[in-house]
Chain A
């Protein structure tokens, strides 16, 4: 016979001011199965917990109902308390009489009656509870970081510095991402390359970091502590084991192409390093444009290479490795603005912010001289348009891209500094500068002479060798026309291509805009819904470099917390399959959002014959206990432990039994 203890918490006056807790305790005491029912001022306090522990001993309780706040708040507290007693931590039900009762009702009498109902329901459920036990899974002490931008580099370095092995994966042929393309970083104006390339080099040379460039994730199986990740090594056509990066091949390659790194403003060869400071500092062949690979005629690089590194036969290959944790740092790209803003036209002197970064960069195609791409002349009048694609749900994205206000100010500052007598006009909706030293930087830019015009640009067209920007100055309520030699569009960020697919492989969902979803926007910002998979940087949403680096270190800290453990305790509140009834239809496998269910063959008897048949098996390391499979199972052979159909039915039925 069950011996239930019921504890009604006052929660100071939070509950007791609305609910007659003594009456609830009295009513609960009369219910079958209850041997002890009392109130407590603060059940969660040390005193409250001690009183409950004492009651368990004194009254030989074997299960508890605690009527208090939401289980999200203190269920884990009370479970922890029960581990110090003879009662199994899962022989506990919380009746939420605060959020779902005292906080939302005023009528004392009715609220008290409702609280009694809630206690009665929890009692009905706890009578059907079964003891549950946690199990442990070992942790593979190695971390995979996906994305070699500043976020990925920082996270990899932090984890490696703590002494754990890290594999740093990058799709491009070099580490660096977007930060290394930038000229200077706001608000301190330190050189972006000077602060990011040493980090790249450090990551590339770190004894604990295995660098894998030109690589992508092909498949992820397993679970927290034990992810099996298949990595696709895309062909490089250059044997990086031998190559010293001497650069002869690049020098002599006859094919010239627009450089992606220079945003189309500079040139590169078909065999190329992404940029001079690339890590690894070794070239790859662009198979789409290499003459040898497309037409079979050429082979200059192979002839010149002193170490015979060139391998035109290179194929993609796959490697599988085991990792305890995964960090997704897949980054962003800028939107394709011509698609969303045809009214801005197409003009060589109409460039994106990232193109301007290359233009003003000392290692860029113009060696840092600001020149119009069309004729190489120094622009005297420059228009900067902010929020191109951001905060514009009708045409592109509803969200604010966060970094643009600051880099627009930085661009204005750089132009005013480098070009004597230059005029800079900035069209803006708002100026958002939350950050250390940000507002001061913006003030300085205005003091330098940048003219801020509040309004959007509706049209850009060419007239007499000038770009005319037509827009509204909404502060004076008039149409304005600004003549410009150069127009810079500060375009919106969007998730990098393929990030959604990569996230899906790791069991991470994305929001409507394609940004990776964190587990909780405030309290679990670098975790994801899949245990063991973390995120950082712009993969999660637009942000600037300081925030990205901070988040990368946060993700690394979470990974370290995980890798420091030898074993992980898994929640026992997971799905359980009754294999006798399971027909092996596999619906549960298809609906499982975390891929926790696999079909296995087991021996059985069918029509009087020994057979093997497929049944579902739940991986306790992966299962999050969401219950989707239990709902999908037509046979009803899956139950969610801790929330079995029987428990829930008893709970609901209790509501009708007065």
Chain B
């Protein structure tokens, strides 16, 4: 891991020095030894501030949106999740591939509070799926992890119990929108929740409006979720957002088939595309 860190610093330094990129986004240290946060590096000499260790929990991809619409080229450390999120953002028209320089790294999964991070638990994409250069060799990772096990548990509950469960979850929501802000699939300029009087989504933090927000958010990303788990990690109220997301991912896969989201920048979204030959068996 230290080798990756020194390579990252070296690559960021020379890319900035050569003028190939105007900013490099990686992780930097914090005052806590078990915590690293995103770090924007603008000058070659600042590259020494980059770190890479098992505490690099944040997904970096969405920070590139700070440079959305500019023609600057941004460097980015890209693990499997970052690379898929970048594909997501390119497919959604938020970023241009030409404006990115991806330094690919292999990831063995991160740690949170000393134990393996929840969000990395079902990750099958430990190598980046796109990159401009790869530090080290692709090392693969586990396959066919039971990522829908919790969804199936929910599916086996009866409707009333499921209703109770989700009402309980959304009763906790404080509508801070952290889940939305951190999500690489939530990339609208102005979220519908921010709009003045949509007429149907109230801003009150009560169970009814929270549920409506929760389900709408899930539907907005359901066919595009790359399962990075950032929403659940960011949620201060411990709402099981990934269960809901994975339920939609599972439904979309069962109904429409197709590859996992984010594996390509030409992603076809099941709910966001129109093909005349689409099957309509579910209707």
B272 and A636: CB pair below 8 A?
no
For chain A, the count of residues having a C-beta within 8 Å of the partner chain is 32
B188 and A583: CB pair below 8 A?
yes
Q: Which residues of B contact A189 (CB under 8 A)?
A: none
Complex alpha-carbon distance, A611 and B65, angstroms: 14
Taking a contact as CB atoms closer than 8 A, the residue among A585, A611, A628 that contacts B187 in the complex is: A585
Measured between C-beta atoms, what is the minimum distance from B137 to chain A in Å? 35
A636 and B276: CB pair below 8 A?
no
Task: Tell me if A391 counts as interface (CB < 8 A to partner B).
Answer: no
Task: Tell me if B116 counts as interface (CB < 8 A to partner A).
Answer: no
Complex alpha-carbon distance, A584 and B65, angstroms: 14
Measured between C-beta atoms, what is the minimum distance from A288 to chain B in Å? 29
Contacts A592-B274, A593-B274, A634-B220; is A609 near B189 (CB within 8 Å)? no
Complex alpha-carbon distance, A645 and B70, angstroms: 33
Q: Which residue of B lies closest to A648 (CB)?
A: B199
A632 and B272: CB pair below 8 A?
yes
Q: Which residues of B contact A646 (CB under 8 A)?
A: 199
Complex alpha-carbon distance, A593 and B271, angstroms: 14
A587 and B70: CB pair below 8 A?
no
Q: Which residues of B contact A504 (CB under 8 A)?
A: 276
Complex alpha-carbon distance, A591 and B190, angstroms: 21
Complex alpha-carbon distance, A378 and B77, angstroms: 81
B69 and A585: CB pair below 8 A?
no
Q: Which residues of A contact B66 (CB under 8 A)?
A: 607
B189 and A611: CB pair below 8 A?
no
Contacts A609-B70, A611-B69, A636-B198; is A583 near B94 (CB within 8 Å)? yes
Taking a contact as CB atoms closer than 8 A, the residue among A587, A593, A609 that contacts B272 in the complex is: A587
A585 and B188: CB pair below 8 A?
yes
Complex alpha-carbon distance, A308 and B92, angstroms: 55
A571-593 vs B, Cβ < 8 Å mask (1 yes, 0 no): 00000000001111111001111
Q: Which residues of A contact B199 (CB under 8 A)?
A: 645-646, 649
Q: Which residues of B contact A581 (CB under 8 A)?
A: 188-190, 195
Taking a contact as CB atoms closer than 8 A, the residue among B92, B94, B273 that contacts A591 in the complex is: B273
Task: Tell me if B269 counts as interface (CB < 8 A to partner A).
Answer: yes
Interface size class of B (residues with CB under 8 A): 20 to 34
A636 and B189: CB pair below 8 A?
no
B93 and A590: CB pair below 8 A?
no
A649 and B200: CB pair below 8 A?
yes
Measured between C-beta atoms, what is the minimum distance from A439 to chain B in Å? 39
B69 and A591: CB pair below 8 A?
no
Task: Tell me if A433 counts as interface (CB < 8 A to partner B).
Answer: no
A611 and B274: CB pair below 8 A?
no
B189 and A635: CB pair below 8 A?
yes
Complex alpha-carbon distance, A599 and B94, angstroms: 13
Q: Which residue of B lies closest to A614 (CB)?
A: B93
A509 and B276: CB pair below 8 A?
yes
Task: Tell me if B259 counts as interface (CB < 8 A to partner A).
Answer: no
Q: Which residues of B contact A510 (CB under 8 A)?
A: 276
Task: Tell me if B206 counts as interface (CB < 8 A to partner A).
Answer: no
Q: Which residues of B contact A606 (CB under 8 A)?
A: 68-70
Complex alpha-carbon distance, A635 and B271, angstroms: 15
Complex alpha-carbon distance, A504 and B276, angstroms: 8
Contacts A613-B69, A636-B195, A649-B199; is A583 near B187 (CB within 8 Å)? yes
Measured between C-beta atoms, what is the minimum distance from A599 to chain B in Å? 7
Q: Which of B66-116 contact A (CB under 8 A)?
A: 66, 68-70, 92-94
B192 and A634: CB pair below 8 A?
yes
Complex alpha-carbon distance, A358 and B97, angstroms: 59
A605-623 vs B, Cβ < 8 Å mask (1 yes, 0 no): 0110101111000000000
A583 and B274: CB pair below 8 A?
no
Q: Which residues of B contact A612 (CB under 8 A)?
A: 69
Task: Tell me if B191 counts as interface (CB < 8 A to partner A).
Answer: yes
Measured between C-beta atoms, what is the minimum distance from A159 to chain B in Å? 28
Q: Which of A211-262 contact B (CB under 8 A)?
A: none
Q: Which residues of B contact A613 (CB under 8 A)?
A: 69
Q: Which residue of A lies closest to B69 (CB)?
A: A611
B272 and A635: CB pair below 8 A?
no
B272-283 vs A, Cβ < 8 Å mask (1 yes, 0 no): 111010000000
A584 and B70: CB pair below 8 A?
no
Contacts A609-B70, A614-B93, A649-B199; is A582 near B189 (CB within 8 Å)? yes
B274 and A628: CB pair below 8 A?
yes
Measured between C-beta atoms, what is the minimum distance from B107 to chain A in Å? 28
Complex alpha-carbon distance, A649 and B201, angstroms: 12
Q: Which residues of B contact A591 (CB under 8 A)?
A: 272-274
Q: Which residue of A lies closest to B216 (CB)?
A: A634
B48-77 vs A, Cβ < 8 Å mask (1 yes, 0 no): 000000000000000000101110000000
Measured between C-beta atoms, what is the minimum distance from A47 to chain B in Å? 40
Measured between C-beta atoms, what is the minimum distance from B184 to chain A in Å? 13
Complex alpha-carbon distance, A612 and B68, angstroms: 10
B272 and A590: CB pair below 8 A?
yes
Q: Which of B92, B94, B188, B220 has the most CB of A within 10 A?
A: B188
Q: Which residues of A contact B93 (CB under 8 A)?
A: 583-586, 599, 614
Complex alpha-carbon distance, A613 and B199, angstroms: 28
Complex alpha-carbon distance, A379 and B203, angstroms: 85
Q: Which residues of B contact A592 (CB under 8 A)?
A: 274
Complex alpha-carbon distance, A356 and B66, angstroms: 72
Taking a contact as CB atoms closer than 8 A, the residue among B69, B192, B271 that contacts A636 in the complex is: B192
Q: Which residues of B contact A604 (CB under 8 A)?
A: 69
Complex alpha-carbon distance, A114 and B280, angstroms: 34
Other A-B contacts than A510-B276, A636-B192, 10 sampled, CB-CB below 8 A, are A584-B94, A585-B93, A587-B269, A591-B272, A604-B69, A607-B68, A612-B69, A632-B272, A636-B198, A646-B199
Chain A residues with CB under 8 Å of chain B are 504, 509-510, 581-587, 590-593, 599, 604, 606-607, 609, 611-614, 628, 632, 634-637, 645-646, 649
Q: Which 8 A-B pairs have the closest CB atoms?
A: A611-B69, A583-B189, A649-B199, A587-B272, A635-B188, A591-B274, A583-B188, A585-B92
Q: What are some 26 contacts across the A-B interface (CB < 8 A)?
A: A504-B276, A581-B190, A583-B188, A583-B189, A583-B190, A585-B94, A585-B187, A586-B93, A587-B272, A590-B272, A591-B272, A593-B274, A599-B93, A606-B68, A606-B69, A609-B69, A612-B69, A614-B93, A628-B274, A634-B188, A635-B188, A635-B190, A635-B191, A636-B192, A646-B199, A649-B200
